């Protein structure tokens, strides 16, 4: 059940992390696999490799990763609101595997089952780690064009989640404001600023119109 749900994410994670493995192994060798297993954050990992390439130090990279991943604060706050009764250990376990994609999969499910979410997280992680190892071992055997369309598959999933989360005018306001700001401001920390502006816009419209 969880496996069936996780398949699109597992397939794209495998190929995206394979591309990561190819690039990262030039700088980190077998440590690339350890990075995928311990960090499990695509955008942050690609940025880190770029920064190593440009000669930045460890501290600068870690701080950048903190900013890039700050959007998790919003997603995980929402996730915790779905499972308010979770015990401490389960919170610690669930939190580790929350990515944009596992969050998307989880909230699109109607029934709320924390075990289902944790399974989704770890299935996705296993694919992310094995893809990295495959990239490290096999290198560039998959054609470049294949890697290039895979991230868009994830964007397509996000579009679907976006559409199903539009439940009225206030939600349209939230999405439009967040979308416009991020389209201008870009990725990373901008996602958080755009999202907060969107959330504010949604609440303002809700107060005006009562919907």
Partner 1 sequence: MDWKLMLILGMAAATYLTRVTPFFIRIREYRFLKYVPASVFSSLVFPDIVRSTDNLIAGIVVFAVAWKNRDLMLAFLAGISALYILRSVF
Task: Give the footprint of partner 1 on residues 73-132 (CB under 8 A).
Answer: 73-81, 84, 86, 91-92, 94-96, 98, 100, 104-105, 107-108
DSSP letter at 205? H
Stretch that binds partner 1, among 24-32, 112-120, 122-130, 133-141 (CB under 8 A): 24-32
Binder among 1, 55, 143, 155 for partner 1 (CB under 8 A): 155
Between 126 and 151, name the residue whose CB sits nearer to partner 1.
Answer: 151
Provide the minimum distance between the beta carbon of 134 and partner 1 in the complex, in angstroms, as a whole number: 19
Quote the least distance from Cβ 146 to partner 1, whole Å.
9
Interface pick for partner 1 out of 187, 208, 209, 211 (rule CB under 8 A)? 187
Nearest distance in Å: CB 140, partner 1 = 19
CB of 38 to partner 1, least distance (A): 4
Nearer Cβ to partner 1 (22/71): 71
Q: How far is the CB of 203 from partner 1 (least distance, A)?
A: 6
CB atoms within 10 A of CB 167: 9
Instruction: Give the separation between CA 154 and CA 161, rounded to whole angstroms.
Output: 11
Q: Is 3 in the site for partner 1 (CB under 8 A)?
A: no
Q: How many residues bind partner 1 (CB under 8 A)?
A: 96
Q: How many CB atoms lie within 10 A of CB 192?
A: 18
- Decide: is 66 part of the binding site for partner 1 (CB under 8 A): yes
Contact positions with partner 1 (CB under 8 A) in 26-65: 28-29, 31, 34-35, 38-41, 44-45, 48, 52, 58-59, 61-63, 65
Binding of residue 158 to partner 1 (CB under 8 A): yes
Residue 206 CB coordination number (10 Å)? 16
Distance CA 32, CA 19 (A): 11
DSSP string, 4-67: HHHHHHHHHHHHHHHHHHHHHHHHHTTHHHHHHHHH--HHHHHHHHHHHHTT--HHHHHHHHHH
Quote the CA–CA distance of 57 and 151 in Å, as a whole number. Answer: 28
Check the CA dihedral 174-178-181-184 and report its sign: negative
Binding string, 163-182, against partner 1, x = CB under 8 A?
xxxx---xx--xxxxxxxxx
d(CA 92, CA 149): 33
């Amino acid at each position: 059940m969880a496996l069936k749900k996780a398949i699109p994410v597992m397939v794209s994670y495998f190929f995206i992390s394979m591309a990561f493995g190819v690039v990262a192994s030039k700088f980190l060798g077998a440590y690339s696999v350890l990075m995928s297993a311990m960090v499990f954050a695509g955008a942050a990992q690609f940025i880190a490799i770029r920064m190593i390439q440009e000669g930045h130090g460890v501290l600068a990279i870690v701080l950048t990763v903190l900013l890039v991943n700050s959007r998790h604060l919003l997603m995980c706050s929402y996730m915790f609101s779905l499972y308010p009764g979770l015990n401490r250990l389960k919170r610690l376990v669930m939190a580790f595997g929350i990515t944009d994609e596992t969050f998307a999969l989880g909230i699109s499910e109607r029934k709320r089952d924390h075990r289902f979410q944790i399974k989704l997280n770890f299935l996705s992680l296993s694919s992310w780690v094995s893809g990295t190892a495959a990239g490290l071992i096999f290198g560039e055997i998959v054609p470049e064009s294949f890697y290039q369309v895979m991230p868009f598959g994830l964007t397509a999933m996000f579009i679907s989640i976006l559409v199903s989360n539009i439940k009225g005018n206030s939600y349209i306001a939230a999405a439009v404001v967040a979308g416009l700001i991020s389209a201008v401001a870009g990725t990373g920390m901008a996602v958080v600023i755009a999202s907060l502006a969107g959330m504010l816009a949604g609440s303002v419209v809700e107060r005006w119109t009562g919907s």
